[in-house]
Chain A
């Protein structure tokens, strides 16, 4: 290939860009498409903080000017972009896979400093992206790339098309650029064979209920953190519910990881496992062989059939399965097919087996079979692989694992090929640690690790050596002194020392000759120049309770490799579920949780749920305090809620403060319940149409409702009584029997009054009005600010009692005129029918500009209303005569009393919720009406009207 000066390409690329964009690096590479390599240039372009990878084709080579470059692909380096690289040691090329949701590009570049730099830049760009605040809102970013995307030649053809779509196995699919170091990390470079009919990967899981939550595969998945995951929301709700926490409160996002009810149940079940499981004995065969890249011999029976009885599970591990260069780029290995077939053929003839799983990482392969009869009891099959080779990333060394749950016991099988060479045992130790810590079974959330299994088998070419001179080793071998050899074995010593390496693992005594290194095809130890010391490289270890090793052998009869195969047979205690007992324990746990949930429902105590308000009087509030104690275990949120078909939580004369609050556990909250009857509510209570009775519903969020009954008696008052009724009362209202009061408050009661009857005389105007007007006439004529200065509450209440009880008969002159003036206005406003009755309201407004019509209208009013109206007008005219002293002017009185005496039945509210335009319109209408009311009044205040 013709390697152009890199700087030159970068310069040429730069010329194709806009001034805002900068090419930070460009490199020559080969793009692999349909297995063919063609020359490309890859460039990293930055615009502000956003990076993109541009792939160019060249019209001619070498490129001399920017027009020689044709943009082929653009890949934004964003959150969805995946970059993975691999660098097979035997090759001089570095392979790089760049994947975005719409395009995948596989390129190859020489292993060189510029290539490393290029990779480093991509990683940096990814880091930058993840730090940009807009992270997570992809819609708004990379707009500058759009123009290039349209330009790029593969934009149309490749959008939505995966060039690997045809590949069943995409080696780079699961590789991703590790966020913490520049290693190319292989997360799942294994392949899962699919061509065996007896494959069990599609096993349906019975015992579905034991399945761990299958969530997003990656822990830091944004979806999950940002709450895109429906399932999570669900389980969250469950939990909140079970804990009585209302959703929507300020629960931290991290709260999403709180275990749900399922997890709680799972934990309880685990704790009580022994109650509902029995230990059953299972035979597990483990075999490991470093086959040195050879094809399988005719039969593996000698290695794999070690007992007359068929094992329940076969676990077969291989190392150096394929030493070819092709194996390193993870494409299909013909060797794998051969060995798979050989293993299958060598399974114990007395039983029928199904393949659970097989997984391969370059030359390391693990195959697991189980007897068909156990099919219904195996579940949650998963696998993972961890490369530990060159740079800690290559798959020539490393480990692969398969895990599953059999009945109620979790099993994990690992086969590994650790670092070689006599002195490299530290490296081997490191490999072990890496495999141990990096193996993650990602079907689980959070991913399951090797150490979390009940039982682990670890087999493979662990490569630990014997630290003795070669002659000593060989002489011990001759004598069969295996014990002496193992005492100097690097792994054995570490196991004995209880070091952190393979801590907790056990190994049987290898009562066989070291399995390494032989001249292939013979039983002779290495005769080459290297003259390697024989060693127990190939080992089988286990960890966990209930495991009994029955055999531990090597099989020197199989000579094709420089290693001898090793096998071991185990008797393993598997916890088998007893359905009946399980159901019992399960029900018991459910019951406990139900109880827990009910216990965690919000609980309160209310000290008084029956409030009686005695002798409630007009405009005189009465308050009682209700104490709500939170006697539960969690904070409660309470609120008084509306009853069916009601618009408010209580009657208008009732109020609860606060009407909504949160009470911490063990704390009390005092709620003030106030009854207050004012001008808007008095009339109905007076007439007996309504009573002081209501039920408040105190609702607990996620909990029960409590009723608080409110009742009381209302002291009828002349305030809120109708003119019609008042003129029929001779004495004060309190002396009128209730039945009569109800009678005279009935509309039209006047017409039934027998005037001729003794005492049937009617007042012209209500005597209460007369009493107040009389007072004002006597004492207020010359007083400043009349109707403008407020009165005193206590005096107003005194006036009320005075008018209602007749004691004292007249309003004492010691009272302030302003109190009487306010009481007078309040009296008029409390009238169930205003002085000008509702039905005349509209007519009044329309006649307001005409004196004659206005006069006619007043004439047509019901007698008592007409009289009251004229009486008040006369009084007001009298006030105006003293305007030089009291400062009142006709304009003020007209608009003021227009408001009081002319009221619409349904007031035009200017509610806050209404739209501005509507509010405006209503306001202007109100102003208009007010003006008309004043105009109407003016006729009667400016002239003495003779009707």
Chain B
């Protein structure tokens, strides 16, 4: 039976990574709740959010894991990269240090996810243009050099937040369509039917045998 429209055909797993304080949780909150969360506490752990979106008339459920950015948790949060179909890598345009650390985050993302994982670079806090410390152009160039998708967003105003999440999903979906993302491969980060998320660390989830019905 084809999945009804209220149901969803796919589950995409996302992770959000980046330095502490760049606004990862706020981006998630803005995306799932359409609200800006002022005074957001530091994430000590991995927050979890979900939303159903539509790409090419397909209902897709996004399971988003928002990781703690603190350096001391780095070893643990690495556990969560596995099996992600999309990785949103966030820096703060007003703090150059967060931008400088991107290569280290990117290394982790590349090493710990599968080659088809879509990595999306987000320059957050673009509403604070006056305090800008990283230019759009250099980040754009960094993204191009590393084959990343890129947008500047604001979790506060909501600008481009929707697009960042949706463009990632579109790209993943496109990868499924053109066959470059093999759903049968382990850890594709895409599930073809609803299922409860499992323990994300012990990712011995069986590879999806369902295949794609498209």
**Contact (Cβ within 8 A) B45 A237:** no
**Contact (Cβ within 8 A) B50 A594:** yes
For B6, give its contact among A209, A643, A703 (CB under 8 Å): A209
**Contact (Cβ within 8 A) A644 B201:** yes
Residue ID in chain B nearest A264 by CB atoms = B6
Given known contacts A590-B52, A598-B33, A705-B200, A266 and B193 CB-to-CB distance under 8 angstroms: no
State whether the Cβ of B76 lies closer than 8 Å to any Cβ in chain A: yes
**Contact (Cβ within 8 A) A237 B6:** no
State whether the Cβ of A235 lies closer than 8 Å to any Cβ in chain B: yes
**Contact (Cβ within 8 A) B6 A262:** yes
What distance in Å separates the Cβ of B64 from its nearest Cβ neighbour in chain A?
Answer: 10
List, in ascending order, chain A residues with CB within 8 A of B201's CB. Answer: 641-644, 697, 699, 705
Interchain residue pairs A-B with the least CB separation, the first 6 = A209-B5, A706-B45, A644-B79, A262-B6, A704-B48, A705-B46
For B202, give its contact among A209, A241, A641 (CB under 8 Å): A641
Interface residues as binary, B64-90 with A (CB distance below 8 Å gives 1, 0 otherwise): 000010001101101110100000000
A246 to B196, CA, bound (A): 7
State whether the Cβ of B184 lies closer than 8 Å to any Cβ in chain A: no
**Contact (Cβ within 8 A) B51 A594:** yes
State whether the Cβ of B194 lies closer than 8 Å to any Cβ in chain A: yes
Q: A209-B5, A214-B1, A234-B7 are in contact. List 14 more A-B contacts (CB 8 A).
A: A208-B4, A209-B4, A211-B4, A238-B194, A241-B194, A595-B33, A598-B51, A643-B79, A643-B201, A644-B79, A699-B201, A704-B45, A704-B46, A706-B45
8 A Cβ contacts from B1-15 to A? 1-2, 4-7
For B50, give its contact among A211, A260, A598, A699 (CB under 8 Å): A598
**Contact (Cβ within 8 A) B45 A698:** yes
A238 to B4, CA, bound (A): 12
What distance in Å separates the Cβ of A488 from its nearest Cβ neighbour in chain B?
Answer: 53
Residue ID in chain A nearest B112 by CB atoms = A644
**Contact (Cβ within 8 A) B196 A240:** yes
**Contact (Cβ within 8 A) A703 B44:** no
Residue ID in chain B nearest A591 by CB atoms = B34
What distance in Å separates the Cβ of A257 from its nearest Cβ neighbour in chain B?
Answer: 17
State whether the Cβ of A609 lies closer than 8 Å to any Cβ in chain B: yes
What distance in Å separates the Cβ of B137 from its nearest Cβ neighbour in chain A?
Answer: 35
Given known contacts A644-B201, A705-B200, A266 and B6 CB-to-CB distance under 8 angstroms: yes
8 A Cβ contacts from B140-166 to A? none
**Contact (Cβ within 8 A) A709 B79:** no
Interface size class of B (residues with CB under 8 A): 35 or more
State whether the Cβ of B47 lies closer than 8 Å to any Cβ in chain A: yes
List, in ascending order, chain A residues with CB within 8 A of B46's CB. Answer: 704-705
16 contacts between A and B (CB under 8 A): A208-B4, A208-B5, A209-B5, A241-B194, A247-B196, A261-B7, A591-B34, A598-B49, A641-B202, A695-B76, A699-B200, A702-B197, A705-B200, A707-B73, A709-B44, A709-B72
Number of A interface residues, CB 8 Å?
A: 45
Seen from chain A, the residues whose Cβ lies within 8 Å of a Cβ on chain B are: 208-209, 211, 213-214, 231, 234-235, 237-238, 240-241, 246-247, 260-262, 265-266, 590-591, 593-595, 597-598, 601, 609, 639, 641-644, 695, 697-699, 701-707, 709
What distance in Å separates the Cβ of B197 from its nearest Cβ neighbour in chain A?
Answer: 6
A260 to B1, CA, bound (A): 16
List, in ascending order, chain A residues with CB within 8 A of B175's CB. Answer: none
List, in ascending order, chain B residues with CB within 8 A of A598's CB. Answer: 32-33, 49-51
**Contact (Cβ within 8 A) B52 A262:** no
Determine chain A's interface SS by DSSP, over half rule: mixed
**Contact (Cβ within 8 A) A234 B194:** yes
**Contact (Cβ within 8 A) A707 B1:** no
Residue ID in chain B nearest A601 by CB atoms = B48
Interface residues as binary, B17-53 with A (CB distance below 8 Å gives 1, 0 otherwise): 0000000000000001110000000001111111110
A780 to B4, CA, bound (A): 82
List, in ascending order, chain B residues with CB within 8 A of A702's CB. Answer: 196-197
**Contact (Cβ within 8 A) B51 A641:** no
A699 to B199, CA, bound (A): 7
State whether the Cβ of B214 lies closer than 8 Å to any Cβ in chain A: no
List, in ascending order, chain A residues with CB within 8 A of B75's CB. Answer: 643, 695
What distance in Å separates the Cβ of A264 from its nearest Cβ neighbour in chain B?
Answer: 8
List, in ascending order, chain A residues with CB within 8 A of B6's CB. Answer: 209, 261-262, 265-266
A941 to B116, CA, bound (A): 68
**Contact (Cβ within 8 A) A234 B193:** yes
List, in ascending order, chain B residues with CB within 8 A of A709's CB. Answer: 44, 72
State whether the Cβ of B195 lies closer than 8 Å to any Cβ in chain A: yes
**Contact (Cβ within 8 A) B73 A642:** no
Residue ID in chain B nearest A702 by CB atoms = B196
What distance in Å separates the Cβ of A299 from its nearest Cβ neighbour in chain B?
Answer: 46
For A231, give its contact among B1, B72, B76, B200 (CB under 8 Å): B1
List, in ascending order, chain A residues with CB within 8 A of B196's CB. Answer: 237, 240-241, 246-247, 701-702
A211, A235, A644, A701: which has the most chain B beta carbons within 10 Å? A644
**Contact (Cβ within 8 A) A237 B72:** no
